Chains A and B, each alone.
Chain A
Amino acid sequence: MPRENMTQWDDKLYQKVDRYNLVPNLDECLQCGKCTGNCPVAALHPSYNPRQIVHDILLGELDRVLQSEEIWRCLWCANCYRVCPVDIHYPLLMMQLRYLALENGYGLKYVTPINKYAYRSLECGLTFVPGKKGVEKIKGLREGIGVEPWPKVSKKAIHEYGEIFKQTGAYDWMKALDEVQAKGEEKPVTLTFLGGRLVDERYDTEEGN
C-alpha cells in the first residue's frame, strides 16, 4: 500500500457515506473492537476489520476505504450491531459505503451480476426468477405438491413495482453502473488491510492472510 497523500483524504467522508442519515451515531464509536471479535468474516480473513473500516471512515481515508476489496466481504449478519455498546448499525453503514464505492467506479463486478435479477424482478414482481430451464423446474416442483404452477402476482403489482423503480431514478442508477462497466471504466479493488491475527488454517483459503 503506497503512502497516502493529502489529496486522497476527505474530511466530509462520513457525511458522504451516510447519505440517508441512517447511522447518525457513527462518531460515538469507542473503537472497542467487539464488532471485529464477533465477525465471522474477520475470523476467516483477518484483513477484513470492521473496527478499522469505521475508523477510516471517521478519519476520512477516502481512497483506502473505497478501493478496499474487504468492504465487499461483509455478510450482513449483524453480529457487530448485536454487540455494539453504542448501537452503531454497521450493516446499514456498509450498504451505503458500497454505494459510494460503486459511484466512484469500484466493485461494480460485485453488483452487476446480481442486478440481472433486479431487472428481471421489474418484469415479474419476484426476485430470483431463474432462466427458462429453471422456471420449468419450478413449475414441475409446484405442480408436484399440488399448487398452481406459478405464484400469483397481479399485473397491477408488477406495473406499480416497475414504476416505483423508474420514478425514483433507481432504474437509471442501475443502468449507469452497466454503462460504466460496458465502457471498461471499472477501477480495480485491492486487499487493503494485510496482516494481523492468526486464523484457523483448516478454513484458510487465501494467500496473504
Chain B
Amino acid sequence: MSAMTQKRVIKPQERIPQIPEKIFLFRSCTGSMEYPGTEHCVEFVLKKLGIEVVKDPDQSCCSGYILTCSGYPAEPSLAVTARNLAMVEQKYGLDTYVFCNGCFGYNKELKHILDHHPEYKNMANDLIGQWGYHYEGTSTVYHVQELYSLLLDRIKENVVRPLTGLRVASHYGCHYLAQQYGILDEGDMPTFHEEIYEALGATPVFYKERRMCCAYAVGRGFTHPENVVQPHLARKFDSAKAEGVEIMTTTCPGCNVALDREQPKLKKRGFGPYDIPVVDLGQLIALALGAPIEEIGFNANSTPVEPVLKKLGFFKDDYGVWERRFVNE
C-alpha cells in the first residue's frame, strides 16, 4: 500500500484512544545528558497533567543512532529493541512513550521490522531469551508530544504563566515525520505544535523551512559539518529569521543539539547571526505551567534563552532568584 493513498490526517483521539493513567517513559541518552532539563520538564509536565510516569534503570539506549550511521550491523539493534520493549511489556504491561524523535523513529522502525519479519523476531527472541525476556509486540510506541496534543485542554487549564506575545516556531523533526504510517496529524504539514503554543498564550509563527531536518542524523555533524550541515542549517534559520521567530522548539534532544550548538559556528562563518534559542517543547510547556525556572535547565543551551525570558518579564533578582516583573498584554 502506498503512503500516497493512505488517510493523511490523524487526530490525537485516533492515535491514542484513551488518556492513559500511567505510562512508561523511555529515557533518551541525549535528553538526559546534553540537555538534562528536557527529561526533567517532560516528567514535570506529565505529572502536572495527572499522568503517572514510570522509568526503569534496566532500559538501555535504543542503539538506533549509530546503527543508522552504519556503525554496526542491524542484528544488535533489533535485539536491543526487542529487549527494551519486552522488558516494558513483561514488567509493566504499559505502552512506551519516548521524548526523543530518534528513540521514536528507531524503536518504531525496528519494531516494524521485528513484527513483519518472523526470522528477525525469532533471532531476537533466541538471543534475549537467555535473560528471560520474550518479545511479543503487544505494546505500542508513542511520542510524548502526541500525549501533549491529546491533553491540550488540561494544558490550557494549567497555564499559570501565559507566554503572551512570544513568537514561537516549530521544528517537528524528521525521525517523527518520516514515520509515515499512523503518526499524529498530517505528516506533510502538521500543526499540532502550533495549537499547543496557542494554548500557552504564545503566537505560533510559520516559516518556509519549518519541515526541514536538523542535519545531525546519521552522524553528518561529525563527517560533513562544513559542506553539508552548516549551509543546510543556514537555509533553515534564514527563513525562520525572515518571519521574526523569537524561539524555536524541538521534540528531539538530538535536533536540539544541532539547532542550538551549531548557531555560534554559523555566526563565525558569516551566516546570520540568528540568535534564536532552541528549547524542547516540554521545557516551554513547563515554563508556562509554572515550573521553577532554575529547574527547567535553560543554562545547558549554547544560544542563550535569557533574552526571551526577559521579554516575558522574568528577571533574576540580586540573590539569583527568578521573579516575573511584568506580563505582556
Contacts and interface: CB of A to CB of B under 8 A. Distances in A.
A167 B196 CA distance: 45
Nearest to A126: B29
Contact of B227 (A85, A98, A165, A205): A205
A116 B40 CA distance: 28
A146 interface: yes
Contact of B71 (A22, A157, A161, A174): A174
A170 interface: yes
A132 interface: no
Interface stretch (A8-16, A54-62, A68-76, A179-187): A68-76
A81 B212 contact: no
B36 A73 contact: no
A95 B234 contact: no
A55 B296 CA distance: 49
B68 A76 contact: yes
A158 B80 CA distance: 11
Contacts of B109: 92
Nearest to B82: A164
Interface in A122-168: 125-130, 138, 141-142, 144-147, 151-154, 156-158, 160-161, 164-165, 167-168
Contacts of B4: 85
A87 interface: yes
B217 A75 contact: yes
A168 B300 contact: no
Contacts of A104: none
Contact of A82 (B33, B188, B234): B188
Contacts of B213: 40, 75-77, 79
Nearest to A97: B70
Contact of B228 (A41, A115, A138, A153): A41
Contacts of A170: 72-73, 75-76
A114 interface: yes
B2 A87 contact: yes
B66 interface: yes
B36 A142 contact: yes
Contacts of B71: 111, 114-115, 118, 174
Given A154-B57, A170-B75, A145 B40 contact: yes
A91 interface: yes
Contact of B127 (A86, A168, A174): A168
B33 A129 contact: yes
A126 B29 CA distance: 6
Given A41-B228, A114-B69, A128-B33, A76 B218 contact: yes
Nearest to B131: A160
Interface string A1-33: 000000000000000000011100000000000
Given A127-B66, A153-B57, A20 B34 contact: no
Contacts of A165: 72, 76
B61 interface: yes
A161 B295 contact: no
B208 interface: no
A64 B39 CA distance: 45
B300 to A, nearest CB: 5
Interface string B57-88: 11111010111111111111001100100000
Contact of B66 (A78, A115, A203): A115
A35 interface: no
A51 B13 CA distance: 38
B231 interface: yes
A44 B228 contact: yes
B143 interface: no
B271 to A, nearest CB: 9
Contacts of A78: 174, 177-178
A99 B75 CA distance: 13
A127 to B, nearest CB: 5
Contacts of A91: 68, 178
Interface of B: 1-4, 27, 29-30, 32-34, 36-37, 39-40, 55, 57-61, 63, 65-76, 79-80, 83, 109, 113, 117, 120, 127-128, 131, 174-175, 177-178, 180, 187-188, 212-213, 215, 217-220, 222-224, 226-228, 230-232, 234-235, 294-297, 299-300
